[in-house]
A and B are shown apart, each in its own frame.
Chain A
Amino acid sequence: MWCRLWESMSENIVSVNNLSVSFDYQENFLSKKQKIKAVNNINIKIKKGSFFGLVGESGSGKTTLGRAILGANKISNGNVIFHDDERDFDLTSINSKEMKEYRKKAQLIFQDPYAALSPRMTVRDIIAEPLEVMKITNSREETDERVRDIASKCRLNLEHLRRFPHAFSGGQRQRISIARALVSNPKFIVADESVAALDVSIQADILNLLKQLQNELNLTYLFISHDLSVVAHVCDIVAVMYLGHIVEMAPSRELFSNPRHPYTKALLSSIPSIDPENKSRAIELEGEIPSAMNPPSGCVFRTRCPHASKDGKEANIEMGLVEVSPEHWVDRCGVNCA
């Protein structure tokens, strides 16, 4: 029994192997087509039941990675496998029939559902839409029942189902979008900046709700955020992205107490401390993130790294994660230069 439990806990729900995603980019119709490598040779395994955090600055590739796992981005290289109880979905070779099946299992929480949806839809219709599109339910009664069920799990007032979205506060809106993502009974959820637009008191409420729903419904999350404090509080494992690469990955507490990669260290030191007496200045990184169209060769972080060597040998090294202590992975470059 104990053994079975352990097995199911350590089972992966998603395996991402050597994944790259590139986009074609053309400045205008006269200029040459260029390739942007938004996600570059990424390997991650997401354990069933985990709260997997993905952090990094704007443009680092978080959304692209999340969308690739959901099958919403074309995979240029490598593969993504979703392990369902009965079968695997290989997102590299998935056909449209399997895709329909997969959509029920893996869902995205929109940052703000009303940005995407008609203001003329009631809250009930917004939540019910996935059921109808995916033809999951057979009658209006069944649909209504599922909507009511998930709405109350998300602590929405059932009275509100008949209303239109415009009158709702940010927190209520986010609960509606969570209910919409969960109504098809998925197992895996990508939450992309789901609390970024919320005030702290509402943010705390939504984070607690996500945790609670995870336990209640056996969910696994890929939680994308640029806010390290939030990630540190809710995630049990965290991957740090920079310019399309994962540069470090470890169980949350290990990562935040023992960061190894120079970029992770700089990120952590940049969080303004709420203690006014702790006036340690952030490790200041030079300049800004280079353009993904023209990334540095070798170590992608070298143009901003305080520890880059004078002779520029980082320009020629090959990146890749190395396990430096159990489950703590750091980019090879970071290990070399540390």
Chain B
Amino acid sequence: MTHLLEINNLDVKFDTDEGRITAIDNVSLTLDQGKVLGIVGESGSGKSVTAKSIMQLNPGNTIYNDNAEIIIDDENVLKFTSKNDLKKIRGGKVSMIFQEPMASFAPAIKIGSQMVEQLMIHKPLDKNEAKNISIDMLNRVGIADAEKRFNQYAFELSGGMRQRAMIAMALSTMPKLLLADEPTTALDVTIQAQVINLMKDIIKEYNMGVIFITHDLGVIAQVADDVAVMYLGSVVEQGPVNEILKNPMHPYTKGLINALPDINNLDAPLTPIPGNIPSPLDRPSGCVFRTRCPHASKEGKEANIDMGLVEIKPGHWLDKCGVDCGKV
């Protein structure tokens, strides 16, 4: 079976004044139609850079490796250079929604005009048809008075409504793949609950594939089918969400779960992961997590191991280092 999205051996580096940063190191992921892949990890772990790579939205100082592939419909989008090719992904087959909806809307253009314009770029529609689809979409995401909102500017809407409008715009072109980067992080919990319920319904209805990025394991547990745990640019553990959250094997995944205040278990102590995330400028060699791992060996053999995911039981992938040290 071919996958909706296949990322193979992706490295992403950035050239900065302080040197060359490794933001993503050898990441491979697949996503099938109708599925939600959650990506979780602390800030700086490379979640956003991964998503932006798929849309080629990383800035000019970005360096991809030659053998990296991001395959959608048998084409490697990393090889796209022409405007026409890029148009196929950006807002075409792929749509992205962001943490800050203001980033998606131009401040001085009415929401409706932006939706119509985007639709007409990607679909053979006339203005009226595009308008009808847009208003219908605004209705679908639960915006009351959609016709009135169509003629308003983004800043005139409340935070929750803006998020809905952005989802409506992202979905109006019927993308096959939706990239959602912390779409609920800036929202109050009752509004987050509305948006999560809305997204679940829409994902089911349109049968699209979704990459859902968040640092919140609770959100992941509620929306994702599979989850990839990222640390410092590497995926250290991956598999069905139930399996990973209930049987975490990698010391980092376990650390994340133990640090989380669980409302259903108030007696559990909050256990921080010791130390700080190293700067991507001096990324540890070997196992990236070794500088903070409570199980790192005394002789420091982790500095020399080769990382890479291994399937330890059906569907459950664990970093090779974790397998070595998996006796922990």
Q: Tally of A-B residue pairs with Cβ under 8 A?
A: 122
B256 touches A57 (CB 8 A): no
Residues of B within 8 A of A232 (CB): 261, 263, 266
B259 touches A277 (CB 8 A): no
B222 touches A273 (CB 8 A): yes
Q: What is the chain A residue whose CB lies nearest that of B270?
A: A204
Residues of B within 8 A of A282 (CB): 190, 193, 196-197
Binary contact readout B158-194 vs A (1 if CB under 8 angstroms, 0 otherwise): 1111000000000000000000000000001111111
B296 at the A interface (CB under 8 A) = no
A window 261-288: CB within 8 A of B: 266-279, 281-282, 284-285, 288
How far does the alpha carbon of A202 sit from the alpha carbon of B44 in the complex, in Å?
A: 14
Contacts known (A226-B188, A276-B221); A203 close to B259, Cβ less than 8 A:
yes
B76 at the A interface (CB under 8 A) = no
How far does the alpha carbon of A256 sit from the alpha carbon of B246 in the complex, in Å?
A: 24
A229 at the B interface (CB under 8 A) = yes
Q: What is the chain A residue whose CB lies nearest that of B42?
A: A199
A230 at the B interface (CB under 8 A) = yes
A200 at the B interface (CB under 8 A) = yes
Contacts known (A57-B189, A233-B261, A276-B242); A202 close to B272, Cβ less than 8 A:
yes
Residues of A within 8 A of B219 (CB): 272
A272 touches B196 (CB 8 A): yes
Interface residues on A, range: 35 or more
Q: What is the chain B residue whose CB lies nearest that of A286?
A: B194
Binds A, one of B85-93, B101-109, B133-141, B210-218: B210-218
Residues of B within 8 A of A172 (CB): 276
For B, the interface residue count at a CB cutoff of 8 angstroms equals: 42
B192 touches A281 (CB 8 A): no
How far does the alpha carbon of A1 sit from the alpha carbon of B189 in the complex, in Å?
A: 46
Residues of B within 8 A of A35 (CB): none
**Which listed residue, B193, B215, B216, B259, touches A284 by the CB 8 Å rule?**
B193
Binary contact readout B240-276 vs A (1 if CB under 8 angstroms, 0 otherwise): 0110011000000001110111111010001111001
B31 at the A interface (CB under 8 A) = no
How far does the alpha carbon of A230 sit from the alpha carbon of B222 in the complex, in Å?
A: 19
Contacts known (A58-B188, A276-B245); A208 close to B270, Cβ less than 8 A:
yes
How far does the alpha carbon of A227 sit from the alpha carbon of B188 in the complex, in Å?
A: 9
Q: What is the chain B residue whose CB lies nearest that of A202?
A: B272
B197 touches A284 (CB 8 A): yes
A253 touches B266 (CB 8 A): yes
Q: What is the chain A residue whose CB lies nearest that of B252?
A: A201
B270 touches A285 (CB 8 A): no
Q: What are 30 contact pairs spanning A and B, CB under 8 A?
A: A57-B188, A57-B191, A169-B276, A169-B277, A172-B276, A200-B259, A200-B260, A201-B256, A201-B273, A203-B259, A203-B270, A203-B272, A204-B261, A204-B271, A207-B261, A226-B189, A230-B261, A232-B263, A270-B189, A270-B193, A272-B196, A272-B216, A272-B219, A274-B260, A276-B242, A281-B197, A282-B190, A285-B190, A285-B194, A288-B158
Excluding A204-B261, A272-B222, 15 further A-B contacts by CB distance (< 8 Å) are A57-B191, A58-B188, A170-B43, A203-B259, A226-B188, A226-B189, A233-B270, A271-B189, A272-B218, A272-B221, A273-B218, A275-B264, A276-B221, A279-B222, A289-B188
